[in-house]
Amino acid sequence: MLEVIRLMESKFTVAGFAHPEVKVSTFLANSMLCNMALTLNMPELKPMRK
C-alpha cells in the first residue's frame, strides 16, 4: 500500500498539484467508497463529482 501511495503522490507532484498528499488521500478514500458502494449495491454512497 505504501508503494501505491508513493507512486500516486509522485504522479500528483509531477502534474503540479498543490498538496499532493491530500490529493492521494482523497483519491484513495473515494476509490474505497466507490468499491464499497458497488459491493453493497448502494450507488447513493458513491462520491459525487464537483
Taking only the tens place, the pLDDT of each residue in 9-18 is 999 999 999 9
**Residue 50, in any domain of the structure:** no
Is residue 10 one of the residues assigned to a domain? Answer: yes
Count the domains in the chain. Answer: 1
Q: Is the pTM of this model over 0.85?
A: no
Residue 20, domain member (yes or no): yes
- Structural domain including 41 reads 2-45
User: How far apart (Å, rounded) are the C-alpha atoms in residues 38 and 16?
Assistant: 31
15-48 pLDDT tens trace? 999 999 999 999 999 999 999 999 999 988 877 7
| Selection from 20, 38, 17 nearest residue 28 by Cα | 20
Q: How far apart are the first and last CA of the chain?
A: 27
**29 part of a folded domain:** yes
Cell of 7: 507512486
Does residue 18 fall inside a structural domain?
Answer: yes
- SS3 of 1-50: the string is CHHHHHHHHHHHHHCCCCCHHHHHHHHHHHHHHHHHHHHCCCHHHCCCCC
In a domain, 35, yes or no: yes
